[in-house]
Structure 1
Amino acid sequence: MSEVSAETCYNLSYFKDLMKEFRKIDDNIMLKMNTTDTHSKDACADFFKKLADAYQKREYVINKCLKILDAELEKKQKALDDDPFDSNLKNQMFVDESKRRMINNEFTVEDIVRERSLTVFKNKCRLFHIPKEFEDFINKRR
């Protein structure tokens, strides 16, 4: 996975587009499941790997952006501690905090998308059992 830059995180339109791109597999899951041999454990395993890779990419991007924004907010908070009357800095912090909340809200979207996709996957690929490590990955934030 390519490195996520601060520009990715500060440009919410780009961030949302990136997440949308990584969610294509979930958005088209019914079509993909209808064209997958769901009676083949191997075919289900291959599709599941693609699904799991997309989940991990999205999780990585969200966490990386939160770390980038947190570091920037921490720097700005220290600068504000030195000059508590800097209204320009306060405005910048407000904007950054808003971006951080919006990016953090992607976890809620992610939970909904995952639940929907995994329900479809489990109903179609009944022979395939989701690995425990993946179940742990899915449940780690709950």
Structure 2
Amino acid sequence: MAPVYFSPPMLASRGASGEGEGSLPAQVATPPSVAELTPSVCFSLVQFKDLLRQYRALDDQVTLRFNRVSARSRDMGESAPPSLLQRHTSQFSSASAQDLGKSTYGTMPNDVCAKFWQQLVSVWSGREDAIKYCIATVGTSRTPTIADDPDLRLDSDARPAPAVQSRSEQMDEFIERQMRNELAIEQIIRQRSLEAFKERCRAFTPENSDAREQGYWKGH
């Protein structure tokens, strides 16, 4: 099965959402195998978590394809175990063999590593953008409170006591907290995939990477 490469998600609207377009952040495109991200998804934890589940499965798919390419590389002799990494200066014999002192067993060529690295970065950045989009979307629906707005805080003495938060506002705050927790979970997931990648691509280092990609490479 040929590898499928994902392009980095672009911040662009995919059509009118009908839900306060003027104040909502620009929609985030998702890969074909992941549900479309709309404002309504952000306000449903069930739909939001299902979207993340689909998105996080892409990490496993990239890792699976990476393992298959690595196994195929070994089968074709492009990498070899230490016992085969020997140079013979005369007729073959164990006595004539010089151990090269290093092993490429299980490692991948840099060009292959670069392709898989870009796939991972695309998935990671797209998922992070999706979470931040939903955090911003839910945040725009909240009514400013005295704690949020300095002008309200200065004028609070002249106002009647604020009403108890509505059930809807409480739910929005809960959803927003859950989404911020997902950002922390993202770092854990990225670290797991990053360790597996670096184990196979020990000689690879990203070139001409931006600040975000450098952060991913450093495990941030």
Category of TM-score, reference length = shorter chain: 0.7 to 0.9
Contact preservation (8 Å) 2:55, 2:123: yes
Cα deviations by residue, 1:34-78 (Å, 9 ceiling, x for unpaired): 1124422121111111110001111111111111111111x3648
Distance 1:82 1:6, change over 3 A: farther
Cα deviations by residue, 1:78-122 (Å, 9 ceiling, x for unpaired): 8xx88833x5x5211111111001111111110100001000000
64-73 or 123-132, which moves further after superposition? 123-132
Taking the aligned partners of 1:138 and 1:15, their CA distance within structure 2 comes to 27
Taking the aligned partners of 2:160 and 2:118, their CA distance within structure 1 comes to 50
| Match runs of 1:6-45 below 5 Å | 6-28=39-61, 30-37=63-70, 38-45=107-114
Indicate the residue corresponding to 1:103 in structure 2. 179
With the length of structure 2 as denominator, give the TM-score of the two structures. 0.54
Bigger fraction of residues in helix: 1
Indicate the residue corresponding to 1:46 in structure 2. 115
Distance 1:139 1:104, change over 3 A: farther
Larger radius of gyration: 2
Tell me which amino acid in the other structure corresponds to 2:162: P
Tell me which amino acid in the other structure corresponds to 2:198: K
Q: Secondary structure of the equivalent of 1:84?
A: coil
Matched, 1:60 2:60: no
Contact preservation (8 Å) 2:194, 2:217: no
Taking the aligned partners of 1:40 and 1:93, their CA distance within structure 2 comes to 53
Distance 1:20 1:82, change over 3 A: farther
Superposition deviation, residue 139 in structure 1: 6.4
Contact preservation (8 Å) 2:62, 2:120: no
| Match runs of 1:104-123 below 5 Å | 104-123=180-199
Q: Secondary structure of the equivalent of 1:105?
A: helix
Distance 1:54 1:40, change over 3 A: same
Indicate the residue corresponding to 1:71 in structure 2. 140
Structure 2, unpaired ranges of 5+: 1-8, 15-26, 28-36, 71-106, 147-158
Taking the aligned partners of 1:124 and 1:138, their CA distance within structure 2 comes to 14
Cα RMSD between the aligned structures? 2.6
Contact preservation (8 Å) 1:29, 1:120: no
104-113 or 27-36, which moves further after superposition? 27-36
47-56 or 18-27, which moves further after superposition? 18-27
Superposition deviation, residue 12 in structure 1: 1.3
Tell me which amino acid in the other structure corresponds to 2:215: D
Distance 1:139 1:100, change over 3 A: farther
Structure number with higher relative contact order (C-alpha < 8 Å, ≥ 6 residues apart):
1
User: How many residues were matched structurally?
Assistant: 136
**Identity across matched positions, percent:** 28
Taking the aligned partners of 1:138 and 1:65, their CA distance within structure 2 comes to 25
Structure 1, unpaired ranges of 5+: none
